[in-house]
Amino acid sequence: MKKVYIIVSILFFSLMTFAQSGTQFMDNRPWQEVLQRAQRENKLIFVDCYTSWCGPCKQLSTQVFPQEKMGEYLNSRFVNAKYDVEKGEGLTVGKQYDKEIKVFPTMLILTAQGEIIHKVSGCRPVDELIAAIEEGLQGNTIYNLKKEYDKGNREWSFIQKYLNLLETAVERKEYEKVAREYASRFPVDSLLNQDIWNIVGKFVIQTPFSPEFRFVIEHIDDLDSKGLVNRYQLECKLSEEMGFAVNSIYLVSNKTHSEDTLVMLQEKIDYLRTLLKKPVKGFPTSLAELSLSESKIKQDVNQLYERLCVLVECGFTDRDILLANMLKYLAQNLNNKAHLKRCIDIAEYLKDISSKTSWVQEGFDEAIALANQKLGSKK
């Protein structure tokens, strides 16, 4: 028993020593107390803004801030405060700095008067966090660099520094804006330059109707051979974005019968078809779905029926909701008994092999019910 007591005492003492050697926080204390202490001690303020449900926040709290090196750095330079910004005094702090707190955790560096100097977002190792804070203390803050950017500085070394800080602060919209503006100064084939690709590659593959997206599709081999991309991951992303574009055409066609809109949709279909003929993973499925949407937009029921039958027979059955909706449309508009019966067979087959989620199953059930109702009225 005595040995157990000694072991427990040693563990308790070790934990207490570890906690005391780490970062010392004013934990959810009134904000005015923090400001007054900072002014009295002539220190800057370091604020950890967190929430109770944030995993990275807990990681910072339990693995990073308690470390001796982190404590030595922060305790000597700052009055440290932490706030759950969803309750108590944290609500006041969160509201005051709501434009800066966009993700969790966000760490703010403030003057003793509460003016923002710098911010760092996300959980990161001790050395990396200290380096990110030091950048701000040396004047390399997103606020200072934004002023310089707005004055027209477009030197590559400056742009790199600014983008790195925007990434550190998780300012995604501003990062994309600056990256796109910088890349737009060069011809589209500059995407084959590693520096340009590194800053804008992840954005240009999200916009299927842009010239950059088309360039990427037409130069996958070049991007791959230069080692700029993981070809498999790139093709998966291109296919995903194409799928969204094709689906958006279908959704818009459901909402309007305006001739101008339908003409615009047909132009988009013609454009996407040229891209979807490229040998990219997943493109054949999107091309098949595009052909269905085209028939529906043209209100060519027989063509839609024939295309859907062929595509199902060929195994293009990936998008359950789209197929269910196409079958419902056919059930409502077909007049041929044999075709209606075939739609029922297809719906039952797809229901059996599709996702078992309720709305998918209900979609096929509705198509079957509509077709049976139509057949019943024809007896």
Asked whether residue 157 falls in the same domain as residue 63, the answer is: no
Which of 163, 183, 203 is the C-terminal boundary of a domain? 183
Q: Check residue 378 and give its pLDDT.
A: 55
Asked whether residue 102 falls in the same domain as residue 23, the answer is: yes
Asked whether residue 121 falls in the same domain as residue 9, the answer is: yes
Q: Check residue 71 and give its pLDDT.
A: 96
Q: Check residue 66 and give its pLDDT.
A: 96
On the CB side of 120, CA atoms within 13 Å amount to 21
Q: Dihedral (C-alpha) 105, 109, 113, 114: value to the nearest 10 degrees?
A: -20
Query: What CATH number is given to the structural domain containing 43?
Result: 3.40.30.10
Asked whether residue 73 falls in the same domain as residue 167, the answer is: no
Considering its fold, how many domains does the chain have in total?
Answer: 3
Q: Check residue 12 and give its pLDDT.
A: 43
Task: Identify whether 133 is part of a domain.
Answer: no
Asked whether residue 113 falls in the same domain as residue 152, the answer is: no
Q: Check residue 5 and give its pLDDT.
A: 45
Provide the residue range defining the domain that includes 308: 300-379
pLDDT tens-digit map of 299-332: 899 999 999 999 898 888 778 888 999 999 999 9
* Phi, psi dihedrals of residue 139, rounded to the nearest 5°: 95, -5
pLDDT tens-digit map of 144-199: 999 999 999 999 999 999 998 888 888 888 999 999 999 999 999 999 999 999 99
Task: Identify whether 233 is part of a domain.
Answer: no
- Kindly report the pTM of this predicted structure: 0.69
Nearest partner of 284 among 273, 293, 295, 294, judged by Cα: 273
CB-CB contact of 137 with 129 (8 Å)? no
Q: Please give the angle made by the CA atoms of 45, 47 and 51, to the nearest 5 degrees.
A: 170
Asked whether residue 167 falls in the same domain as residue 65, the answer is: no
**Which residue type occupies 234?**
L
Asked whether residue 42 falls in the same domain as residue 120, the answer is: yes
Task: Identify whether 271 is part of a domain.
Answer: no
User: Rounded distance, CA 34 to CA 28, Å?
Assistant: 10
User: Rounded distance, CA 245 to CA 209, Å?
Assistant: 9
Asked whether residue 378 falls in the same domain as residue 316, the answer is: yes
Q: Check residue 8 and give its pLDDT.
A: 40
Q: Check residue 356 and give its pLDDT.
A: 83
Packing angle between helix 320-333 and helix 283-297, nearest 10 degrees?
A: 30
**Which residue type occupies 59?**
Q
Q: Check residue 41 and give its pLDDT.
A: 95
Q: What is the pLDDT along the chain (379 residues), one digit of tens a residue?
A: 444 444 444 444 444 444 457 999 999 999 999 999 999 999 999 999 999 999 999 999 999 999 999 999 999 999 999 999 999 999 999 999 998 998 999 999 999 999 999 999 999 999 999 999 998 888 888 889 999 999 999 999 999 999 988 888 888 889 999 999 999 999 999 999 999 999 999 989 999 999 999 999 999 999 999 999 999 999 999 999 999 999 899 888 878 777 888 889 999 999 999 999 999 999 998 999 999 999 998 889 999 999 999 989 888 877 888 899 999 999 999 999 999 999 999 999 999 988 888 888 998 999 999 999 988 865 4
Task: Identify whether 231 is part of a domain.
Answer: no
Which of 162, 183, 204 is the C-terminal boundary of a domain? 183
Asked whether residue 20 falls in the same domain as residue 114, the answer is: yes
Asked whether residue 102 falls in the same domain as residue 170, the answer is: no
Nearest partner of 66 among 82, 84, 55, 54, judged by Cα: 82
User: Rounded distance, CA 14 to CA 16, Å?
Assistant: 5
Task: Identify whether 269 is part of a domain.
Answer: no
Task: Identify whether 197 is part of a domain.
Answer: no
Task: Identify whether 210 is part of a domain.
Answer: no
Task: Identify whether 120 is part of a domain.
Answer: yes
Asked whether residue 315 falls in the same domain as residue 348, the answer is: yes
Which of 160, 183, 206 is the C-terminal boundary of a domain? 183
Asked whether residue 167 falls in the same domain as residue 106, the answer is: no
Rounded CA Rg of the chain: 29
